């Protein structure tokens, strides 16, 4: 058993110490009594010792008084003020425990008084459609069938049957159908026109009761505004007419997708595969853009594994879409000036290393189109166009875009140590197949190759 301290079985030791303890205690009690009696005697006779009156008088407790004005005269006869006893914090009555009104007023923020999103969705959703892309293929038995190749989203812009979507949603389709809100069966759609460069396509359906959406003014959109994306992520059935919410992250992003550079809105409203071609909506229920793409990787780690990116989606501003849409409806295609080459930049470092001039390096030439017809070859370096010195491929692109179809473009190229003057008649880029090239060479490592007009 554990124990602490000192224990003794010596009885004489115990008795001796107990006796001493009792005497000490008695002595302390006597001293305290004497002191108390002395204090009482002093209190009773102290006034007489100071020469005061022997008449009985009430005992007065003298305390400091509140500060008086400077002209106040104190009188000896005035009775001193009694000090009030301290009181505890008042206890709230049980009858006074009702919840008070929390009436703090929040600042008025545009669009934050109420939540308009449910009403916007109810109004806009019927105008959003599913778009399905079918291609012809063969079954195992050799029978020709139409197989679903992909799907996306579109939205109605006219009650006459016109629908906007992305060009890549319907690209290569042998048949296009749409699923109209509230209908079970798919409706066959006609492709009115498609522009691969801006990724815009116009469809039309007949005999359907459609609800067109109002197109807003994308030039007025500001960074930080709320935005809604409505579409069919992943498929046109399971997750049809899904709405997501975010903000406009940027209003003017120049992004190159599939070798075509366009200006986009950036948004963090969730956009997934299948959302392509759907509307980006503002808080007034107006279409401000077409959801077209998203970034799914932010780069690669040291082991080569993709690092995922979230909340980086892109939408084509509706104002530039309307211009292309009108051309597609009235003409069926978009004419753009082009010469039929792909080029990259030969910068000063590359030029010095290889003993060639700076300029626009011709990576490939489209077969039987203006550049090829004029004698341009893959491997040429274009150093001058219409009298302007070319130091980057972007300069050449700008010059070609400033021309009109049918104009002549005078260029100077460097080839095998010689300079050659050539004349190219500007053609329609829309008619050019950049997969059909002649004399193509391997692109220069590390140089971004983009199709030029």
CA 169 remoteness from chain centre: 24
Residue 8 designated active-site: no
Q: Rounded distance, CA 152 to CA 275, Å?
A: 6
Two tokens at 366? 């489209």
Q: 260-267 and 427-428 as β-strands: parallel, antiparallel, unpaired?
A: unpaired
390, exposed or middle or buried, with CB in 10 Å at 0-12, 13-18, 19+? buried
Residue 17 designated active-site: no
H or E element at residue 36: helix 11-49
Supply the DSSP symbol for 47. H
Select which of 125, 151, 195, 199 is catalytic.
199
Q: For residue 317, report the phi and psi dihedrals to the nearest 5 degrees.
A: -60, 135
Tallying the residues shown for the chain, one arrives at 453
Q: Which residue is associated with the tokens 């959302």?
A: 275
- Helices within 303-424 (DSSP H only): 318-330, 348-354, 370-374, 393-401
Q: For residue 406, report the phi and psi dihedrals to the nearest 5 degrees.
A: 105, -15
324 φ/ψ sector (left φ>0, alpha ψ -120 to 50, else beta) = alpha
Residue 199 designated active-site: yes
Select which of 125, 151, 276, 344 is catalytic.
276
Q: Rounded distance, CA 236 to CA 153, Å?
A: 8
**Contact of 170 with 202, CB cutoff 8 Å:** no
Select which of 151, 168, 249, 292 is catalytic.
168
**What amino acid positions are annotated as catalytic residues?**
168, 199, 276
């Amino acid at each position: 058993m554990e124990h602490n301290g000192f224990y003794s079985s010596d009885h004489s030791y115990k008795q001796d110490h107990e006796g001493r303890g009792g005497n000490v205690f008695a002595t302390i009690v006597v001293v305290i009594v004497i002191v108390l009696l002395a204090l009482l005697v002093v209190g009773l006779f102290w006034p007489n010792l100071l020469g005061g009156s022997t008449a009985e008088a009430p005992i007065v407790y003298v305390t400091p008084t509140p500060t008086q004005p400077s002209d106040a005269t104190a009188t000896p006869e005035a009775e001193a003020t009694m000090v009030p006893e301290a009181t505890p914090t008042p206890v709230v009555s049980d009858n006074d425990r009702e919840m008070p009104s929390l009436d703090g007023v929040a600042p008025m923020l545009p669009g934050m008084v109420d939540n308009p999103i449910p009403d916007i969705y109810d109004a806009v959703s019927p105008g959003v459609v599913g778009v399905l892309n079918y291609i012809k293929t063969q079954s195992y038995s050799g029978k020709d069938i139409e197989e679903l190749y992909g799907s996306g989203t579109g939205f109605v812009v006219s009650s006459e049957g016109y629908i906007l979507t992305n060009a890549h949603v319907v690209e290569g389709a042998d048949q296009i159908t749409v699923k109209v809100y509230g209908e079970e069966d798919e409706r066959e759609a006609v492709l009115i026109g498609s522009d691969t460069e801006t990724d815009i396509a116009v469809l039309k359906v007949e005999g359907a009761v459609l609800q067109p959406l109002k197109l807003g003014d994308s030039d007025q959109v500001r960074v930080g505004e709320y935005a809604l994306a409505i579409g069919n992520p992943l498929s046109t059935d399971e997750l049809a007419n899904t709405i997501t919410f975010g903000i406009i992250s940027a209003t003017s992003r120049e992004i190159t997708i599939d070798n075509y550079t366009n200006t986009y809105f950036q948004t963090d409203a969730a956009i997934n595969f299948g959302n392509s071609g759907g509307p980006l909506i503002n808080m007034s229920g107006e279409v401000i853009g077409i959801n077209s793409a998203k970034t799914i990787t932010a780069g690669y780690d040291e082991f080569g594994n993709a690092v995922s990116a979230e909340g980086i989606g892109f939408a084509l501003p509706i104002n530039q879409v309307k211009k292309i849409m009108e051309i597609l409806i009235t003409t069926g295609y978009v004419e753009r000036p082009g010469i039929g080459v792909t080029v990259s930049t030969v910068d000063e470092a590359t030029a010095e290393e290889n003993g060639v001039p700076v300029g626009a390096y011709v990576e490939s030439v489209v077969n039987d189109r203006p550049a090829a017809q004029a004698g341009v070859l893959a491997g040429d370096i274009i150093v001058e166009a219409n009298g302007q010195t070319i130091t980057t491929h972007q300069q050449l692109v700008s010059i070609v875009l400033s021309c009109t179809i049918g104009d002549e473009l005078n260029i100077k190229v460097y080839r095998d140590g010689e300079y050659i003057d050539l004349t190219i008649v500007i053609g329609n880029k829309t008619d050019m197949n950049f997969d059909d090239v002649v004399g193509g060479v391997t692109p220069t490592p590390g140089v971004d190759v983009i199709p030029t007009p």
